[in-house]
Structures are given as C-alpha cells and as structure tokens.
C-alpha cells in the first residue's frame, strides 16, 4: 500500500509538468488595443513582428487566411491576430524553398486562422505570432510550428475589433 501511495500521491498534489515553452512561444507584454485610421501614427510595438497593440478595424469578412505573396503591415498583422490568427512570417532575402514550401504545405492544413507571408523586417528566418505570443526560429521545425498553431489558432480577442 505504501508503494502505491508513493506512486499516486505526488501526481495527486496538483503538481503537473508545465507544457514546454516552445509549444506556445514566449509571452509578450500586451500593448493597448487602439483602433487606428490608415496612416495614423502610434508608438513602436514591443516585439517584431507585433503581437498586440495598435491596429486597423478589420472585420472577420475582411480577413484573408492562407498564403500571402506580400508582407503585411504591422497594423494589419495585429488586426489578424485579434481575430484569432496565427501569422507565420519568413525572411529569406536569397530565397529559401526548403523553408517556404514545407511552411506552405503546413498552413494548407488550416483553411482558417493561419497566414503565411514574407517579412523582410524580422531578424530570424521564421517568426510565428498570435495575440500576446511570439516564437522565432532559424529553420523549419514542423513540430514546433504546428504546436504553436494548435495552441493559439482561433483564439479571438474580446468583442468587436
């Protein structure tokens, strides 16, 4: 009986192993949810790419999920994140089909809530964002990226934009 209790008791004390950080990315400090007009200025974002803050008032009907051929401006990115989006961005000045093609295959599993776009302003090869979370990596890691998507895709923020 003592052996059984020693095996059961530690797990019954509410102690659980935390989920590894990379599954959800790093938590970023949230910035004010301020709706902007196009070309309106605002303070700098605290992450690159942004994970919260100043954004345009885009409704769900204005959001286009999937692969984008052009980079998204920061205010549009935040609008997508607020709608429950996960944005995967890549920086490959010389081209990197070994990264972009697997990313494209991965995002095709998600008809909603995931965007893939180039972004020359990021320092890493890949940056993945959701509302309040960011992960940056320098190569394709399917498990890590898919885990981030599973954790955050579809998590809409608050009421209307």
Q: Chain-wide mean pLDDT for the chain?
A: 87
Residue 13 has pLDDT above 80, yes or no: no
Residue 17's pLDDT is: 52
Residue 37 in any domain: the answer is yes
CA distance 44 to 23: 27
Residue 54 in any domain: the answer is yes
CA distance 5 to 13: 12
Residue 107 in any domain: the answer is yes
CA distance 54 to 44: 9
Residue 38 in any domain: the answer is yes
Q: Encoding tokens for residue 73?
A: 């401006």
Residue 146 has pLDDT above 50, yes or no: yes
Residues with Cβ within 8 Å of residue 38, at least 6 apart in sequence: 56
Residue 18's pLDDT is: 54
Q: Encoding tokens for residue 160?
A: 């209307």
DSSP per residue, 106-142: HHTT-SSSEEEEE-TT-SSSEEEEETTEEEEESS--H
- Total-model pTM: 0.84
| Tally of residues, the chain | 161
Residue 161 in any domain: the answer is no
Q: Domain range holding 148?
A: 22-152
Question: Which residue, chain included where needed, has tokens 């599993």?
Answer: 109
Question: Per-residue pLDDT averaged across 38-64, rounded?
Answer: 94
Residue 132 in any domain: the answer is yes
Residue 69 in any domain: the answer is yes
The tally of domains found in the chain comes to 1
Question: Taking the CA of residue 101 as centre, how many other CA atoms within 13 Å lie in the half-sphere pointing to its CB?
Answer: 4
Res. 60 pLDDT band, cuts 50 70 90 = confident
Residue 67's pLDDT is: 97
CATH of the domain at 85: 3.40.30.10
């Amino acid at each position: 009986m003592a052996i059984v209790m020693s095996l059961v008791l530690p797990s019954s004390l509410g102690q659980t192993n935390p989920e590894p950080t990379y599954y959800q990315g790093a938590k970023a400090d949230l910035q004010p949810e301020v709706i902007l007009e196009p070309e309106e200025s605002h303070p700098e974002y605290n992450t690159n790419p942004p994970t919260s803050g100043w954004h345009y008032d885009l409704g769900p009907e204005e959001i286009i999920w999937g692969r984008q051929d052009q980079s998204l401006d920061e205010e549009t990115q935040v609008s997508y994140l607020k709608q429950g989006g996960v944005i995967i961005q890549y920086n490959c000045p010389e081209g990197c089909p070994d990264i972009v093609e697997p990313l494209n295959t991965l995002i095709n599993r998600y008809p909603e809530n995931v965007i893939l776009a180039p972004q020359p302003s990021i320092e890493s090869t890949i940056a993945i964002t959701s509302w309040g979370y960011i992960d940056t990596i320098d190569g394709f890691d399917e498990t890590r990226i898919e885990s981030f998507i599973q954790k955050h895709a579809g998590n809409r923020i608050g009421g209307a934009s």
